[in-house]
Amino acid sequence: MFVLPETSLAAHHTLGIDVSAKRIVVAESVEDVQMLWQTPPDSQSPKLVLGKGSNVLFTNDSDVTIVLNRIPGIEHRETETAHYLHVGAGEDWPNFVAWAVDKGIGGLENLALIPGCVGSSPIQNIGAYGVELKDVVDYVDALNLDEGTVERLNTDDCQFGYRDSIFKHRFRHSHIIVAVGFRLSKVWTPVLNYGPLQTLEPATVTPREIFDLVCKVRQEKLPDPAVIGNAGSFFKNPVLPSRDVEALLVTHPEAPHYVVSERETKLAAGWLIDQCGLKGFRIGGAQVHPKQALVLTNVGGATAADIVALARHVVNSVKAKFGVVLEHEVRFYQGTEEVTLSEVDND
């Protein structure tokens, strides 16, 4: 464990907003995390754990200690039927997926290039191109801060939902993810139901081909956070009662939609935003990305207030045109507290 000399969080979250913390600490082991939460004076100070900061917006300066989770390690064992991977929470997710593909291990390729750490992936139940984390995860190891012990949660325990899990609710303040276990069957079945993956041949396609195509599409569609500050998809795709979507399709039959169940249908948030003419729309240093309306960017010197104002404008515009209320996928923090867009106070 060590303390970084700087207190600015600009380099530690992909939106690159220049807000500050009390201090920034790097934790490289479970013992480091236990020490921070159990040893005075650290145990009494407010803290917030961060991976790569790829899905967060800090709305203001705060008097908190930011703990960067950098617990490393990839352990691999296999049986006749499956590969089993035990991965430290601090491992970089894109690098981990590339490692698995290089090893000839299939199952993670649809999730290529999603920014962040492995430990953050269960919190959000990350997903892309028809695959979610819950489809490949075997267990999650989480440190119980009250007991000081590591608990192993199976997939049912994690209560995974659409961009949701127990770690965003009941375990939000009480547990910290320290490792994730994956079970990847050797009887590999490609998932080719979404977008450009439908052009691939199911009978001959390989995990490498899917990985390469996903990387190509993401690099063409999404801005590189190292060049333009962003947090990826800023809003969730709204899942609505099917009857509401059917009513919308009467006036907008071209609207992309995906049946989730007998009663629910998913709309494409990016399409809704685009139809409001918001690509390229800018408030201060914050801009709706000109090529992908689902992404809000820091094009230079954006403040948290700029991002919040732009997000509110997008939500209000979509609601006025379609009657659909978008929810943000990016997690907003004021100090150690997670808040919603409507709760943000920039005064």
Residues tagged active-site: 163, 233, 329
- CB–CB of 222/292 below 8 Å? yes
Return the residue matching tokens 């207030």.
Answer: 305
Q: 212: closest CA among 155, 285, 150, 129?
A: 129
Structure token pair of residue 120: 């953050």
3-class SS at 156?
A: helix
- CB–CB of 69/87 below 8 Å? no
Structure token pair of residue 175: 């547990």
Q: Considering Cα of 55, then 59, then 61, then 63, what sign does the dihedral take?
A: negative
Burial code of 272-304, b = ≥16 C-beta within 10 A, e = fewer?
bbebbebeebebbbbbbbeebbbbbbbbeebbb
